[in-house]
């Protein structure tokens, strides 16, 4: 068991959670949910710009509810790619949520059919808020407050963004076609500062996409670029032996 899991297990053994901790979890969840949810405006506009209708954009937010995958799908379709290529790219990006679910299964301790509902809310933000809490009770509070507030805000702003873009006629005339790539880059940028492995993966993906775009149909370079994630599994360079110490002959 990791240190974090041990701490959470020990904390969950306490008989009660202080009101202050619970209030802090609610505050954190609402802050993250409302702030990130406003990005739905950009997705709604980007989806309509890519050629989706307002109902289609809203259905994506309701049923998919994972921003990176949604922006990826809209970006591929907007670039002329097929639905299959866009969907495969979105599924690859959304696969990380399954790993989050494994981490949160014991922490949330949800049983039966309720797991299907809770699984829909397992995304980057709800996982981050939940795992940042000091005990299991506040972790559950933080998760549900984040997931619900973000889901409601994201879907409302998707509708507003899509409806607003649809009323403009052709959003490309106002330069709104850059919203999808711009927001996607904003989502990616913080991860590039996490370490050298992340930079290597991003650089590898960029090289693959640049080389493949001129010769392959739209959407295919995106899927090929995902192969750059394999770089993360390559062994690191072994450390050089310390030559400052005396060696035996």
pLDDT band for position 3 (cuts 50, 70, 90):
very low
The rounded distance, in Å, linking the Cα atoms of 46 and 48 is 6
The rounded distance, in Å, linking the Cα atoms of 219 and 188 is 19
Burial of 129 (0-12, 13-18, 19+ CB in 10 A): buried
pLDDT higher than threshold 50 for residue 243: no
pLDDT band for position 180 (cuts 50, 70, 90):
low
**84 sits in which H/E element:** helix 83-94
**209 sits in which H/E element:** helix 196-212
Lowest mean pLDDT among 138-152, 165-179, 231-245: 231-245
Residue 64 vs residue 195, higher pLDDT: 64
pLDDT higher than threshold 60 for residue 37: yes
Model-wide pTM > 0.85: no
Collapsing DSSP states into helix, strand and coil, what is residue 201?
A: helix
Residue 230 vs residue 147, higher pLDDT: 147
Joined tokens for residue 11: 């904390």
pLDDT band for position 65 (cuts 50, 70, 90):
very high
Residue 167 vs residue 29, higher pLDDT: 29
pLDDT higher than threshold 70 for residue 149: yes
Residue 230 CA to its chain's centroid (Å): 19
pLDDT for 59 equals 95
- In the chain, what are the domain boundaries? 20-174, 193-234
Task: Compute the average pLDDT of residues 94-120.
Answer: 88
| Residue 231, C-beta contacts closer than 8 angstroms, at least 6 positions apart | 197, 200, 201, 204
- Among 221, 230, 202, 222, smallest CA distance to 91 is for 222
Mean pLDDT (the chain, rounded): 78
3-state per-residue secondary structure call for 9-42: HHHHCCCCCCHHHHHHHHHHHHHHHHHHHCCHHH
pLDDT for 176 equals 58
Q: What angle do CA 10, 33, 113 make, to 5 degrees?
A: 65
């Amino acid at each position: 068991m990791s240190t974090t899991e041990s701490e959470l297990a020990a904390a969950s053994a306490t008989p009660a959670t202080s009101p202050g901790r619970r209030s802090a979890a609610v505050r954190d969840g609402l802050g993250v949910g409302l702030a990130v949810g406003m990005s739905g405006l950009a997705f709604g506009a980007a989806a309509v710009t890519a050629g989706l209708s307002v109902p289609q954009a809203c259905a994506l937010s309701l049923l998919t509810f994972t921003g990176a995958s949604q922006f990826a799908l809209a970006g591929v379709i907007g670039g002329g790619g097929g639905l299959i290529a866009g969907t495969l790219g979105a599924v690859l990006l959304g696969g990380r949520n399954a790993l989050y679910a494994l981490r949160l299964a014991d922490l949330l301790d949800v049983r039966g059919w309720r797991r299907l509902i809770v699984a829909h809310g397992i995304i980057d933000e709800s996982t981050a808020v939940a795992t940042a809490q000091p005990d299991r009770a506040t972790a559950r509070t933080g998760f549900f407050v984040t997931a619900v507030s973000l889901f409601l805000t994201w879907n409302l702003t998707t509708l507003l963004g899509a409806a607003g873009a649809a009323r403009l006629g052709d959003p490309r005339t106002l330069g709104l076609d850059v919203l999808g790539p711009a927001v996607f880059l904003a989502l990616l940028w913080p991860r590039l500062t996490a370490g050298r492995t992340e930079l290597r993966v991003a650089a590898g993906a960029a090289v693959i996409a640049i080389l493949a775009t001129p010769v392959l149909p739209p959407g295919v370079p995106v899927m090929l670029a995902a192969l750059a994630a394999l770089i993360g599994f390559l062994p690191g360079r072994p450390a050089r032996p310390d030559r400052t110490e005396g060696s035996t002959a």
